Amino acid sequence: MTAKLLRGRVLSFHAEPQAGDESAFTYIEDGALLLRDGVIERRGEYCDLKGLAEEEVDHRPHLLMAGFIDAHIHFPQVQVVASWGEQLLDWLENYTFPAEMKYADPSYAARMAGAYFDLLAAHGTTTAASYCTVHPESVEAYFGEAEQRNMCMIGGKVMMDRGAPQGLCDTPQRGYDESKALIEKWHGRGRAHYAITPRFAITSTAEQLEATQALAAEHPECFVQTHVDENQNEIALAAELFPDAPDYMGVYEQYGLLRENALLGHCIHMTDREIGLVADTGAKPVFCPTSNLFLGSGLYDDAGLRKRGIKGAIATDVGGGTSYSMLQSMNEGYKVLQLQRQQKHPYEAFHWITRGNAVALGLEDRIGTLDEGSDADIVVLDARATAEMRLRAETVETLAEELFLLMILGDDRAVVQTYVAGEPMK
């Protein structure tokens, strides 16, 4: 296939930085990426790579980074974001569940999938772990659209058999059978990864969790994604529905759903035992700052978890989350951590939304960096995209300052272009 050369300032992490540590990344002031067949074939100085490709795109003076990775987001909530509400359970009942009912219609699901993927690309996100609805039609629309765009995407049919309107409930057997068929069709097809998706404990009976356990045991290669310890009322309801479980996390422990490729949304109000359980199993907490603030759920203790050896992921959680932008997720995440006297250096922040999330997903050999041989998922960033950014940029002197400006004031306007497997998507 035709080779393409992207020129610009190249920034890629190869390790997790500690505060201002500059040894954790490669930065090339006048750099280039040689792309071929959807992969980064070479990375280096522009002077060494010029003339090697039939097509050349000059993105100077902008930054070239690995595409952003969103570790927890709800595909069916594109028309739920920015809905006024109270806290989690009321918000689900009043907004989310009525919206999700519509995804039984394949044409509606397909239209929303197109809009959803357009929004991801516009905000620089090239990979996301998404919840679909209980309807297989929603999963077909989701993976079908991802396949057309050749995007590396994670997703799965929500499994729930109680606590929701009848049109959103399956049965233990149907949840198992439909999920199994979707795994067989989509997992490993192109760049698709399936996530076994019990919504959360309070929307599944013990019988459904047993079926989920069987499915997870049969498919250890698949992700597991769910919610836990997000909201105090949710925790109280879980304790009422599962009185024999030692705690909320203990429900998932009982049904064998905690493992290294399990993505646990929120993890705000964990007990000491629950934290130990996450550390022991290697399951990944997912910090969703804009959602946690919007729904008044609480503050994620990143430093406390890291002291226990737990490195979580970070995500938008649209539609409880209020922006598709991983830049804005880090903006709000920075503030959540500041409230707890925890600081996140911009090097750490940009590592988190690229290589850090890729490591949490176990996909760092393919995405999250601009290493040679990695998939050519790339975002082009402009720290002078708006009037206020341009004014502030006049005083920026270092790369760290530029990155901090991007994560505090940046959004989709700062994303010049998003490349998926080497193809422009914005």
Flag whether pLDDT at 87 surpasses 90: no
pLDDT mean over 19-33: 96
Tell me which H or E stretch contains 278: helix 272-281
Helix axes 136-149, 172-186, angle to 10 degrees: 10
pLDDT mean over 237-261: 97
pLDDT mean over 233-248: 96
Query: Rounded distance, CA 370 to CA 178, Å?
Result: 37
Contact status, residue 166 vs residue 125, Cβ threshold 8 Å: no
What's residue 91's pLDDT? 66
What's residue 319's pLDDT? 86
Residues 6 or more apart from 363 whose CB is under 8 A from it?
A: 127, 152, 193
Query: Rounded distance, CA 317 to CA 363, Å?
Result: 20
Helices (H) and strands (E) in the chain, counts: 17, 16
The reply to whether the predicted model has a pTM over 0.95 is yes
pLDDT, one tens digit per residue, over 144-171 is 999 999 999 999 999 999 988 888 999 9
64 CB neighbour count, 10 Å cutoff = 26
pLDDT mean over 129-135: 97
As a whole-number percent, the residues of the chain with pLDDT over 70 amount to 98
What's residue 88's pLDDT? 63
Which domains occur in the chain, in start order?
4-67+369-424 (2.30.40.10), 68-361 (3.20.20.140)
- Burial classification of residue 22, based on how many CB atoms lie within 10 Å of its CB (0-12 exposed, 13-18 middle, 19 or more buried): exposed
pLDDT, one tens digit per residue, over 395-424 is 999 999 999 999 999 999 999 999 999 999
DSSP 92: I
What's residue 2's pLDDT? 85
